[in-house]
A and B are shown apart, each in its own frame.
Chain A
């Protein structure tokens, strides 16, 4: 968890963090009503004794603001930094050459009776082909 007082070298001022805020259901409604980023849909889990954890995506300033209001905020990850890291895992060209080279599936092809772990001979040699892609 990158929840330290000193931000790591790769952190920027406007980075957005995935956080879990401990809150009551009433507080969740109030927080969501503020228009903060709650991801795809509000996710409120691990509810015990009337309190649970709401996922939010916040800047450090917003996190400190919530902490100042008395909320317990746990930082799960720096999503901005993760996006920057993942950019290295996005292909820059076109592996399929505008439709000339078909993709290869990641699922294991097995014999006709559905026996796992047996790749049919006609697919075995394809493992040596170009880089497998979804």
Chain B
């Protein structure tokens, strides 16, 4: 058994679509990478008539040297589909998901996996290395800012999202959540979403307006991280937040005046969901991951989980999206053996499926969803848009009624 190479990651997704055509959709991502690779995501959706489903979006393979992330997500999709289609439950070590749990995950949620966000970087890291810089490559392979110098190639995709991207302005001086130097391995690019890899993630998440959970799988350290990553959290002052430019130049330092805002109830939700993943991992073989805020000692800017979490603040009508990062592997190592990786796959897939089970809508939420749906359907039937729209008869009647006083006034004036 061996790690998936870049070609196999994509062909595995195609094979799952071919093997389970009624349960899956292959989603080609629109932005080609610099080396002209096109990535795919896979949507797992049973019972398409069930319209009240939340979506759970998993991505991996963002950093080239963090081997094993795509293997985790490809296996997750495979296990869910195999178990669902055979009406079986699923077990990873001591963590067991009954068949009805698997069935309801597939029937009542959209599970979206995007296993290889940065295929150019992965192909480079998995090639026989010319030097150590290649072996431990982290970024994508975009040479736009390199000036022709090999060591300056690439952008850190996970510093390229639109969350406080312009860190020299938004963070305190001498705080380096990313880098403006193309030779740095945390180079944040020439603008937010300048890279096709991060734009693909943005496009994918936007395609699922009912996305409620977003998890970016990285390695290593054995952590489940939740927002914010720019500074410590606070729950009392909504004006002290990433949106308020008055706090520019003050972010990123622990235990000072600035802390980023999370409503208390949302912080509790983030912590609960993170704990569910942590406990799912623990139950497999006793690996005790730590769930904590992304900002621990040092800040980050432009990361995926923070960007995902901004959606509910910037576009409240689109609903709540909780963003997370899992740092798999408790050892200080980007290159576990495949035998170690098999255990890591079981750990993380158990944590992610536990999150999917948690994401399933409750009965009350489903009833509310159907009521809302039927209410709007009936309203549109009784008052169709062509009747109550701006050029419909209802609008003309309103204009006529509004014109009556004017007409009367004119008649009186004439008399």
Contact of A110 with B78 in the complex, beta carbons under 8 Å: no
Using an 8 Å CB-CB cutoff, how does the interface string of B246-279 with A read, 1 for contact, 0 for none? 0000000000000000000000000000000000
Contacts A77-B333, A99-B17, A107-B91: A35 and B327 contacting too (C-beta < 8 A)? no
Q: Among A76, A98, A112, which residue has its beta carbon within 8 angstroms of that of B88?
A: A112
Q: Among A41, A79, A98, A123, which residue has its beta carbon within 8 angstroms of that of B298?
A: A41
B297 at interface, CB cutoff 8 A: yes
B29 at interface, CB cutoff 8 A: no
Q: How far is the CA of A116 from the CA of B128 in the complex (A)?
A: 41
Q: How far is the CA of A32 from the CA of B297 in the complex (A)?
A: 11
A2 at interface, CB cutoff 8 A: no
Please give 6 more A-B residue pairs, beta carbons under 8 A apart, in addition to A16-B132, A44-B296: A14-B132, A18-B332, A41-B300, A100-B18, A103-B12, A105-B81
Using CB atoms, name the residue of chain B closest to A120.
B88
Q: How far is the CA of A108 from the CA of B89 in the complex (A)?
A: 8
Using an 8 Å CB-CB cutoff, how does the interface string of A45-77 with B read, 1 for contact, 0 for none? 000000000010101000000000000000011
The list of the 5 closest CB pairs from A to B, nearest first, reads A114-B98, A99-B14, A134-B75, A105-B79, A102-B19
Using CB atoms, name the residue of chain B closest to A109.
B88
Contact of B346 with A107 in the complex, beta carbons under 8 Å: yes
Chain B contacts of A134 at CB under 8 A?
4, 71-72, 74-75, 78, 345
Chain A contacts of B97 at CB under 8 A?
114
Using CB atoms, name the residue of chain A closest to B98.
A114
Using an 8 Å CB-CB cutoff, how does the interface string of A84-107 with B read, 1 for contact, 0 for none? 111101111011111111111111
Q: Among A77, A85, A97, A112, which residue has its beta carbon within 8 angstroms of that of B98?
A: A112
Chain A contacts of B394 at CB under 8 A?
none
Contact of A18 with B333 in the complex, beta carbons under 8 Å: yes
Contact of A123 with B11 in the complex, beta carbons under 8 Å: no
What is the size, in residues, of chain B's interface with A at 8 Å between Cβ atoms?
A: 77
A122: shortest Cβ distance to chain B, in Å? 6
Chain A contacts of B342 at CB under 8 A?
106
Using an 8 Å CB-CB cutoff, how does the interface string of B44-85 with A read, 1 for contact, 0 for none? 000000000000000000010111000110110011011100
Q: How far is the CA of A15 from the CA of B17 in the complex (A)?
A: 41
* A–B pairs, 20, beta carbons within 8 Å: A16-B135, A18-B332, A37-B185, A41-B298, A43-B221, A44-B297, A82-B334, A85-B335, A89-B2, A91-B2, A91-B5, A99-B11, A99-B14, A103-B78, A105-B82, A109-B88, A110-B91, A112-B88, A123-B86, A134-B74
Q: Among B14, B75, B94, B185, which residue has its beta carbon within 8 angstroms of that of A98?
A: B14
Q: Among A40, A57, A79, A106, which residue has its beta carbon within 8 angstroms of that of B218?
A: A40
Contact of A32 with B86 in the complex, beta carbons under 8 Å: no
Using an 8 Å CB-CB cutoff, how does the interface string of A19-46 with B read, 1 for contact, 0 for none? 0100001001100110101011111100
Contact of A100 with B334 in the complex, beta carbons under 8 Å: no
Q: Among B1, B3, B132, B337, which residue has its beta carbon within 8 angstroms of that of A132?
A: B1
Q: How far is the CA of A87 from the CA of B128 in the complex (A)?
A: 7
Contact of B132 with A15 in the complex, beta carbons under 8 Å: yes
Using CB atoms, name the residue of chain B closest to A20.
B332
Q: Among B96, B135, B179, B332, which residue has its beta carbon within 8 angstroms of that of A76?
A: B332
Q: Which residues of A contact B (CB under 8 A)?
A: 12, 14-16, 18, 20, 25, 28-29, 32-33, 35, 37, 39-44, 55, 57, 59, 76-77, 79-80, 82-87, 89-92, 94-117, 120, 122-123, 131-134
Contact of B220 with A39 in the complex, beta carbons under 8 Å: yes
Q: Among A15, A83, A85, A91, which residue has its beta carbon within 8 angstroms of that of B4?
A: A91
A97: shortest Cβ distance to chain B, in Å? 7
Q: How far is the CA of A102 from the CA of B99 in the complex (A)?
A: 21
Chain A contacts of B135 at CB under 8 A?
16, 79-80, 83-84
Using an 8 Å CB-CB cutoff, how does the interface string of B123-155 with A read, 1 for contact, 0 for none? 001101101110110000000000000000000
Using an 8 Å CB-CB cutoff, how does the interface string of B324-352 with A read, 1 for contact, 0 for none? 00010000111101100010011001000
Chain A contacts of B184 at CB under 8 A?
35
B15 at interface, CB cutoff 8 A: yes
Contact of A102 with B88 in the complex, beta carbons under 8 Å: no
Contact of A96 with B12 in the complex, beta carbons under 8 Å: yes
Contact of A106 with B75 in the complex, beta carbons under 8 Å: yes
Chain B contacts of A123 at CB under 8 A?
82, 86, 88
Q: How far is the CA of A122 from the CA of B349 in the complex (A)?
A: 23
Contact of A14 with B332 in the complex, beta carbons under 8 Å: no
Chain A contacts of B300 at CB under 8 A?
41
Q: How far is the CA of A82 from the CA of B337 in the complex (A)?
A: 9
Q: Among A28, A86, A98, which residue has its beta carbon within 8 angstroms of that of B335?
A: A86
Contact of B3 with A102 in the complex, beta carbons under 8 Å: no
